[in-house]
Structure 1
Amino acid sequence: MFKMGEKAEEGSRTWVKLTGRFGKKLRQQDPKTEEADSDRSDSPEEAGRRLSVREEELLSRVQPDQEGEDLLCRDLELLKLQILTTVRRSFAGDPDADLASAVAVLRQQETLDRHREGGGCRWRPLKCLGAHNALLADVAEFRLAEAARDADRDGAGGLSTPLKRQVCGAGKRVKEDLLRCARTLQPCYDPDLDVLNIYAGLCHQSFAARLSDAVQAGPDVDECAYLLFWVNTFYPREILKHEELRGKLKSDCLGALLPREQVRQLEERVAKNKEERLCSWLHKVLQREEENWSGGKMPEVIDDFFFCPLAVDVIQVIDGSLADSDYFSGGDRTDSRWIAAHLENFLLSYKKSLEKLSQGNDEHATTWMKAHLACQEQLRDYVGRRAEDQPGSQESGRCEAILDELRDFVSVAFTRPIHEHLKVYYRQLWTPGWCDGSLPVMDSLLEVLFHVLDQQLTHLKASCKQSLTRTFRRELEVEYARRMTKSRLKGEQDWAAAARRMLDDARKMDDFFRVAGCDESRCFGQMPVNVEAPHLGSIRKDMLAFARKFLDFRCKLSDPASSTIVGGAEEVLTPTDRKLTLFFGPKARQWLRSRLSGNY
């Protein structure tokens, strides 16, 4: 036990501790203190009532009682210390059964302070509430300092640096204290005192000061990331929004843990480091792939198709960077834009590498291009999902555009040789021999196409093979339409026979590509051709409708210059025709013109 005058240091304040022997010494000094000693042996609430009675008696006397007032002043201070000691023990983790009683006396003394205001009582105001709040501030500061010190000493959580251990220890102490306050201490207080939010504000202030000092101490990049994790993620989510504090804690009133300038300082250091690491990782992924190409290695074979892990590696790198961003930023995805920008730069480099690879024009290059068809499909699906999660993202849109260009480039690399095999049959389309059936052009063309596809589209992923087949079908139909525009058939009978032959060819192509796995709808055979009364204008219009139906370009048209599609046919374009041509983009339109002119 402590004797009178002994003190216990805790935090920045000094607390006088009472002992049982203190009352015994008072009795030896003055027998008039027996009543006061009984006050100290009671609970705080009972002692407060007794002192209130003594105070009323002293104030009701005509002649002042100097000795009685001195004793009352001393006993009121001792009662105040008793209240604060009870509160301190309770908030320091040692629940005191007298806390509710001490809080009741605190409110009682506050009421008496207001009633005696200006009454000339030298023992008023006692200011118990102010001392109580100051005590809580010192308790919060002491407990956080103690937790930080203990965590650093004990190596809390296996964290690598003293700063991390101290922040972790102090932060977890805040969580423990707020939960204990909500569970056991708040019920002892009147609702209007709201001790939970008072103590939360004090803990928040102390913890914020520690974090600010840590930032000013110049943490390394890893420590900066850890501080951001506490500021943006763990503290607001796991502490302030804890389910037991929900509806009780006014977290919006606490403010930010760190000033915006310090948070920005941390974010810039972490983002710079993350960007450098992301660029390095993506560069190594592409570099390793290029080394495989140039080193003569062959791609892996999985489920009977060529495969390369580039897409898997890239997706893992990007997802890892996004997960880190969520971890440090609290999920606001502010870093997702620069991550998407780096992905865009990577895709541009990837596209250049594939263009260089395709120049090899040999079996080795073709094998790797087959592997990268599956790779591009994975990347396109991934970027598409991200675009759905972030609608309106310009970076995602540019990534999708690059992948579309890459898909078209690789598709042409596969379809161009096939067209070379079929050129001889293209020249026979829309000739008199084709029209009267003496040349079985479509039968011969599809027979050769079957063997070419069977030989050249091997070891492809099923979905990639289907996509290539679908692309080739569209190109074949464009070529068919181009030959139609160059036809020199004359007379109604010739055009009627050509229309019937065209519909017969359509049925054959539909059957062929259906067996090949092309699941597009049968639109070609539905082109409205009036074989009974054909004329040049209507045929040309039908040809344009045919071309518009089967071409699948994704870019938009900035100017509806539809007359450039087929020269000399502008007079047959209706407003509806012009709207349909909006599916053609500038590059697509230029490509179509070259197709129609035979320069491919």
Structure 2
Amino acid sequence: EEERLDDLSRKLILREEELFTQDGRSEEEEDRLLKDFESLSVRVWMAIHSSFVTTATPAGRPDVLRSAVDTILQQETQDQRWTERPADSAPVWRPLRWLRTHNLLLQKMVEKQLKDAEENETGDTGQLSSVTKRQVCRLGKRVKEDLLTAAEAVRHCYPSRMDVLNIYGGLYHQAFAARLAQLCSSELDLDDCSYLLFWVNHYYPDEILKHKELDGIKTACLGSLLQPDTLGRLEEQYLSTVSRNELKKWLKNGKISRLSFYFASVVLIFMSTKKTYFPLGTKIMQNLNEVTFSTSQELNHLPLRHAPLLNYRKSVEDLVKVNPSNLHPVLKATLVCEQQLRDYISGQAEGLAEEQKRRCLDTLSALRDCCYQCLTFPLHGKIKVFLSQLWTPPWVDGSLPVVDQLLSFLSQQL
């Protein structure tokens, strides 16, 4: 059985100390020690490189990886010792900087893993309809599998202070983002664009990074897989096409699906931008005249209808009853859309009778009230606590600043 790497490392450090603290050392002894360090480094990098090998090869065993990591840290400590001594007394190979080499090796390993995954045509991605979809899926699956391996097996071979899971998380995020940026550099059709946005905005952040085994990854530090301008361009491409097609259906049929076009679009946009509410209402209404004009031969007899707004309001009311986990963000986005629709109907819509305009605005008011009621309901009980202190002796004599406390609370909540 081969000697443990960390044991061998300690012996080499002792030899180095003895050799370079004595007078009259020979070049032959230095060369021999240097070759032994080089031999050790080969074994260490083989062990690191085998981090994701699932077979029981010697280099891929957890104990070998753990020993390799200990060796790297030992050599880092020895590098530090030599920096505290006269420079002319140090060996020519110091500092070794094995920790830096280790991190560079991890980066190359990650890039190789994703390159191999992208080029591997085998697997269960054959049912996907395009090359781009298959590439994205293979890349994403490899990221997930390797991060889970890092979490379940690899990180236990490292001391916690190295935080190797976040090292791998950052490297895979960067490599995945780089490959997606290359895919986005060429024109994507609507189907590929939709699939890529699904991965970027939903599956990767919600299903991979939030996996229970990856709880230690600092997702807030990673950011989006795509640069804001690229993400915005893809969302614009997708939404401009979808909104135009759906608007034609809306104008033509006077009805919308169970989750209305507006509501579904608001949910889509909020989920894709997370914290930014895309001006959907404005975008749709800017397209309204263009779409109506371009399809006037077919649609010029169809007025703007009230029924879709009723369905929109009902969809939101139904969603409130279901109370999903993302309800509040969706309602906030809905309020933005409601205001933009209101602005359009109040000031820009042409050909609307006053009665029809009033009915549309009343429906939007009911929608707005539904959203505000749901958003503010959790505050009612806390507000009552503040108000219950009015007309009490401390409030009367001014020692209890009830109004200031209430305003401070509302400011924090709103």
TM category (shorter chain) comes to 0.5 to 0.7
Taking structure 1 as the reference length, what is the TM-score of the superposition? 0.48
* 1:285 aligned onto 2:253: yes
| Structure of greater relative contact order (alpha carbons < 8 Å, 6+ residues apart) | 2
Partner of 1:79: 40
Task: Please tell me the residue identity of whatever aligns with 2:281.
Answer: R
Which of residues 169, 179, 195 is equivalent to 1:226?
Answer: 195
Gap change, CA 1:340 and 1:185, over 3 Å in 2? same
Local SS of the residue matching 1:116: helix
Asked if residue 158 in structure 1 is aligned to residue 127 in structure 2, the reply is yes
Provide the rounded CA distance (Å) in 2 between the counterparts of 1:153 and 1:70. Answer: 48
1:52 pairs with 3, 13, 17, which one?
13
Counterparts of 1:239-278 in structure 2, within 5 Å, are 239-246=208-215, 248-278=216-246
Provide the rounded CA distance (Å) in 2 between the counterparts of 1:109 and 1:183: 27
Deviations 1:547-571 (A, max 9, x none): xxxxxxxxxxxxxxxxxxxxxxxxx
Q: Report SS of the residue matched to 2:246.
A: helix
For 1:192, the equivalent position in structure 2 comes to 161
Question: How big is each residue's C-alpha offset from its partner over 1:52-73, in whole Å with a ceiling of 9 and x where there is no partner?
Answer: 2221221233211222211110
Q: Given the superposition, is the C-alpha separation of residues 354 and 271 from structure 1 closer, same or farther in structure 2, using an over 3 Å criterion?
A: closer
Structure 1 gaps of 5+ residues are 1-39, 287-309, 356-371, 410-600
Taking the aligned partners of 2:282 and 2:316, their CA distance within structure 1 comes to 15
Choose 51-60 or 383-392, whichever is displaced more: 383-392
Rg (Cα) greater in structure = 1
Q: Which residue number corresponds to residue 105 of structure 1?
A: 71
- For residues 346-370 of structure 1, the C-alpha deviation after alignment (integer angstroms, 9 at most, x for no partner) is 9xx99x8589xxxxxxxxxxxxxxx
Question: 1:398: Cα distance to partner?
Answer: 5.9
Whether contact under 8 Å (2:260, 2:311) holds in the other structure is no
Partner AA of 2:145 in structure 1: E
With over 3 angstroms needed to count, the CA separation of the structure-2 counterparts of 1:182 and 1:407, relative to structure 1, is same
Corresponding pairs, count: 328
Q: Flag the 1:388–1:76 CA change in 2: closer, same or farther, 3 A.
A: closer
Q: 1:136 to 1:407 in 2, by over 3 A?
A: closer
Per the alignment, residue 128 of structure 1 pairs with 98
SS state at 1:137 partner: helix
Match of 1:116 in 2: 82
1:381-432 Cα deviation digits (max 9, x unpaired):
45777996634631354699889933988xxxxxxxxxxxxxxxxxxxxxxx
TM-score (norm 2): 0.68
For residue 207 of structure 1, report the CA deviation from its aligned partner.
0.9
Where 1:91 maps in the other structure, the secondary structure is coil
Letter in 1 for 2:184: V
Give the Å deviation of 1:132.
0.7
Give the residue type in structure 2 aligned to 1:225: S
Q: Deviations over 1:211-236 (max 9, x none)?
A: 11111122222222222222222222
Q: Percent identity?
A: 34
Asked if 1:183 corresponds to 2:152, the answer is yes
The answer for the alignment partner of 2:356 in structure 1 is 406
Cα offset for 1:342?
8.4
- Distance (whole Å) between structure 1 residues aligned to residue 34 and residue 210 of structure 2: 45
Deviation of 1:254 (Å): 2.3
Q: Look up the SS of the partner of 1:122 in the other structure.
A: coil
Of the structure 1 ranges 205-214 and 325-334, higher mean CA displacement relative to structure 2 is found in 325-334
Counterpart of 1:173, as a letter, is R
Instruction: Give 1:66's aligned amino acid.
Output: E
Residue 140 and residue 278 in structure 1: after superposition, are their counterparts in 2 closer, same or farther (change >3 A)? same
Within the alignment, does 1:148 sit opposite 2:118 as a pair? yes
* Cα RMSD, aligned residues only: 3.8
- Which amino acid in 1 is paired with 2:138? G
CA contact (8 A) 1:322 1:336 kept: yes
CA apart distance, 1:157: 6.0
**Contact 1:282–1:314 at 8 Å: present in 2 too?**
no
Q: Shift in Å at residue 273 of structure 1?
A: 0.9
> C-alpha displacement at 1:335, in angstroms?
5.9
SS in 1 for 2:225: coil
Change (3 A) 1:397 1:62: same
Shift in Å, 1:238: 1.8
Change (3 A) 1:93 1:254: farther
Aligned to 2:340: 395
For the residues of structure 2 that align with 1:129 and 1:408, how far apart are their CA atoms?
Answer: 70
Aligned to 1:334: 278
Contact 1:43 1:101 in 2 (8 A): yes
Q: Please give the alpha-carbon distance, in whole angstroms, between the structure 1 residues aligned to 2:169 and 2:80.
A: 27
Residues 282 and 341 in structure 2, CA contact (< 8 A), matched pair in contact too = no
Once residues 256 and 137 of structure 1 are traced to their aligned partners in structure 2, the CA distance between those partners, rounded to angstroms, is: 19
Correspondence 1:496-535 to 2 at 5 A: none
Inter-partner Cα distance in structure 2 for 1:388 and 1:46? 61
Change (3 A) 1:254 1:331: closer
1:353 and 1:314, CA in 2 relative to 1: closer, same or farther beyond 3 A?
farther
Structure 1 pair 391–221 and aligned structure 2 pair: CA distance change class (3 A): closer
AA of the residue aligned to 1:103: V
Q: Deviations over 1:32-83 (max 9, x none)?
A: xxxxxxxx93011111122122212212332112222111101111111211
Change (3 A) 1:397 1:384: farther
Matched residue of 1:225: which SS?
helix
**Distance in 1 separating the partners of 2:134 and 2:193:** 13
Q: Counterparts of 2:259 and 2:3 in 1: how far apart (Å)?
A: 71
CA contact (8 A) 2:263 2:315 kept: no
Offset, 1:252: 2.3
- The residue that corresponds to 2:109 in the other structure is 139
- SS of the aligned residue for 2:208 comes to helix
